[in-house]
Structure formats: structure tokens, C-alpha cells
Copies of this chain bind each other. A is one copy, B any other.
Amino acid sequence: MSDAAISPTTELRPPNADTLTELEHIVGGQHAVRDPDRMAPYLTEWRDRYRGEAAIVLKPGSTNEVAAVLKCANAARAGIVPQGGNTGLVGAQIPDESGSQIVLSLERLVHIRDVDLASNTMTVEAGLTLAGAQERAMSVGRLFPLSLASEGSCQIGGVLSTNAGGLAVLAYGNARDLALGLEVVLADGRVWHGLKALRKDNTGYDLKNLFIGAEGTLGVITAAVLRLFPRPAEQVTCLAGLRDLENAIELLARMREAAGPMLTAFEILPRIGLDFAIKHGTDLHDPLRAPHAWYVLLEVSSPLAGETVHELVQAQLSDAIEVGVIEDAVLTTSDRQTGELWKLREVMSEVQKYEGGSIKHDVSVPIGRVPEFIDRANDLVELMIPGARPVPFGHLGDGNIHYNVSQPVGMDKDVYLSNWEALNAAVHEIVLDLGGSISAEHGIGRMKRDLLPHAKGAVAMELMRAIKTSFDPNGILNPGKLI
């Protein structure tokens, strides 16, 4: 891919001394960081995969300050890198190595501006953590269902800018489905006041969904109206052992039919993942008597108190065992047991570290094609790197598989990881052949930017570039990311 094709029309410049002084003045000296030690946490991400440098880190305290910062940066042609909780997995939130970019942290915009119980909405600022939003919802008897591993640190502006997914997408949708309105500061400092709390609003083009998932390249989200939901009265969690993935698809169909919108999670784990978890996890045991090739972790959430849902799931599992769709299952009856089952799922990424290098893919295909995808990808891995160990797991209910591949036992880690791009390219070809996505939930950022044109095709790229050029003609917003 030629970089020239996606370059902004004007050259970006490092902010000069006058610009830096003006920026410091806008946010207040104590919220403008130029000291290397204090800047450091904003310049690297937690896995240490991306490291950058910055001219300054700014922490504005209001939407107006964000607007003033962008107006100044746009006039100075200085690149701006918006940053939330710095938990992104594709490097979108980290500046480049030049030291000429400005990191714009939204961490001080933490107010909850409004909670409207009759309308089931909550208006929050971008810097509020996801956990903070969940807690506020819970405190008023509601559920904000978005749920991610990083929920303690990630911020609402970040989860919207990346259209985060997570564990509850099956029933509640992605981040974009959970926001009704946005407040966004544009590249030139104008503010789009789109904080509508409406379920229906057919007045022109859908600007909201354009900013959501744009990774800060079209504007900076400063606040959002979030949807709230009733809290379920009962939840039943189950771990089932299965012979193969076709049976997992069949179990999904059965559970959807039986539980409808009450089916709130449907995750898969391979046996090797369970082995890793039991071997390397803290105090984790095999919940079933015998080993199985695959496991489904499912959750049914119901507004109905009492035994109804437990009985429903129990009946489905009995039927499924009888006809051979599942081999065994455990259904939890206590918070402690439920926590133990989910722990097996939650440690899935972490425990792979103890087995050496892991080459990762965050992909999706149509749900019915997941078994075919995994078969083809596994064959390919064995062909390309004999002995490498696929650990595919994740959100089968959404067709989203984290296709991670652990290194062959005994291979040098760096040698193994040198296959990263080649394996990615080959696995992504299978994904695209099956009508899938090369980034189901993590986004594009720096990591997959060069892969995007091939995955999207020329027409989509041209449309996206036209939008980018219209919204940010000087190309100051998150340069070098996504597009």
C-alpha cells in the first residue's frame, strides 16, 4: 500500500514554542505535561507493544477546553492523539515515534451529567471508566451491559471510539448499540452537540455511528448518552463439554430457540485452553469429570425470579445430552461456582503467556462458518509452523473468535514470533474467503492499518478517505491510525 494515497493534504508540523505555550494556557499548567517521567505512562501501552514520544500530554477539564486545544492544534497543523484508559490493543491510542504529536487525554472528563430513569438513559463524559458507568447504573437499579476485561481502566470515550465488544454483545450489542447520542469536538474545534437521548430519530445522516468506531480519526468524543437496561432477576451459567464445534453451533441454535433474548453469553474454549488455565491459573480446576475437545460457557439471564430459568436450562441440557449434542455439563447454582466458571474464560489470554509466544488474531466470520474457519486455519498453522498450538476461543454467539496460536513446545520465542505477519496474512485470507472481518472487536489502529485496503477493497477505502478528508482536511486527528 502506498502511504501517499492516504496522506493528509497538508504537512503536519511539530508544535512550536508558541503553540505549546498556548496549549498549556488552555488546559492550565498542571494539566499540561512535558516532563518525560510524567509523560511516560501515556506513551506506551500495557503489553509494551507500542511505544511513542510526544511533544506534550494535555488533560483538558471540559469540552470547551478540548475544543480550544483542537482549534489551536489545527491552526498549527499539529497531530493530536486522543487517549482514554490506554487499554486499546491495536496501538490507536499511542503517538508515533517522532515526538511531534500531542497526546490528548480525556481522563479529567469524568462527570455523569444526567441519569434519566424514566427514559433509561445516562449522559456521561468520555473519561468515565466503563466500571464507573456500570457502577452508577447499578446504583440506580439498572444495568449498563457492556463488559470487557479492561473495564476497570478503559474509558467511555475509548470504548465508543473503538466500538468495543466484549462478553454481552450477543444480547445487548456492541458499544455502538448502547449509545443514543454523542458530543464530539471536530478537528477545527467546532462542537457537534449530538447528545440526543432518543431511540428514534430519522433526521438525516447517521453522524453518531460515523464517529463511533472511528478511533479518534474523525473527531474527539467528549460525552455520550448511554442506554440503560433492567437488571436481570436470575442468571444461570453453564459449562458444557462437546465433541466438536458443529455441536456447539447446534447447541447455540437450541439455546437461542429456547431462551430467545435471555441468552446473554455463548463462549467457546478449546481443551488446550482449559489445560493452560488449569496448569497456569490460580486455583482453577477441571469442572467436568472427563476431558472434552471443546467447551461452551453460556449464560441465560431472566427478568423472572424463581426456578423457571434454571429449569429451562436444565431441560435443554438434558435434551442435548440425550441426543449427543453435548457430552456433559455443569450448571451453576451459586455465585462462587459461577465465578469459577467465568474465571476459566477470563484467564484465557493471560495463561497463554506461560506457554511461550502467541500469535493472535481477532476475527469474525458468519456464525455458521466458525467450524470451517477453525478447521482451515488449524490445517494452515500445522502446514506453516508444524507443532504450533492453536488456542481458538471467544464469542461464538457473535461469530468472533480470538484465534490465538501458541508456539511449538521448545521453539525459540523470537523465532516463532517472527512468523507473526506471515501467519496473520494467511489466516486473514481464510477469514476474507469466508466473508469475515480481520478485526472483529479490537479495531485497526496502527497494527492493522496496512492490512485494511486489502480487506475492505478499493471502493470502501475511497469512501472512507473521502469522509476523513471532509472531516479533518489537515489530517491532524490521530495521524497514521486506521486510515
A414 to B365, CA, bound (A): 58
Q: Is A381 an interface residue (CB 8 A)?
A: no
Query: Are B117 and A258 touching (Cβ within 8 A)?
Result: no
Contact A210-B213, Cβ < 8 Å, known A199-B364, A444-B204? no
Q: Is A124 an interface residue (CB 8 A)?
A: no
Which of A12-20, A47-55, A162-170, A350-358 binds B?
A162-170
The 8 A CB mask of A248-273 against B (1 = contact, 0 = none) is 01000100111111100000000000
Q: Is A209 an interface residue (CB 8 A)?
A: yes
B contact residues around A212 at 8 Å (CB): 206
Q: Is A471 an interface residue (CB 8 A)?
A: yes
B contact residues around A324 at 8 Å (CB): none
Which of A24-32, A97-105, A284-292, A454-462 binds B?
A454-462
Query: Are B192 and A435 touching (Cβ within 8 A)?
Result: no
The 8 A CB mask of A212-247 against B (1 = contact, 0 = none) is 111000100000000001101000000000000000
Q: Is A72 an interface residue (CB 8 A)?
A: no
Query: Are A207 and B460 touching (Cβ within 8 A)?
Result: yes
The 8 A CB mask of A107-124 against B (1 = contact, 0 = none) is 000000000111111000
State the oligomeric state as a number of copies.
2
Contact A441-B200, Cβ < 8 Å, known A366-B121, A467-B470? yes
Q: Is A149 an interface residue (CB 8 A)?
A: no
* Identity of the chain B residue whose Cβ is nearest the Cβ of A261 in the assembled complex: B261
Q: How many residues of A contact B (CB 8 A)?
A: 96
The 8 A CB mask of A292-334 against B (1 = contact, 0 = none) is 0000000001111000100010000000000000000000000
Q: How far is the CB of A160 from chain B (nearest CB, A)?
A: 12
Partner of A457, one of B193, B202, B257, B304: B193
Query: Are B249 and A200 touching (Cβ within 8 A)?
Result: no
B contact residues around A198 at 8 Å (CB): 364-366, 399, 435-437, 440
Residues of A participating in the B interface, judged by any CB pair closer than 8 Å: 116-121, 162-163, 165, 169-171, 173-174, 176-177, 186, 190-207, 209-210, 212-214, 218, 229-230, 232, 249, 253, 256-262, 301-304, 308, 312, 364-369, 395, 398-400, 435-444, 448, 452, 455-457, 459-460, 463-464, 466-471, 482-483
Q: List 7 A-B contacts (CB under 8 A).
A: A118-B249, A119-B367, A119-B368, A198-B365, A201-B364, A201-B440, A205-B467
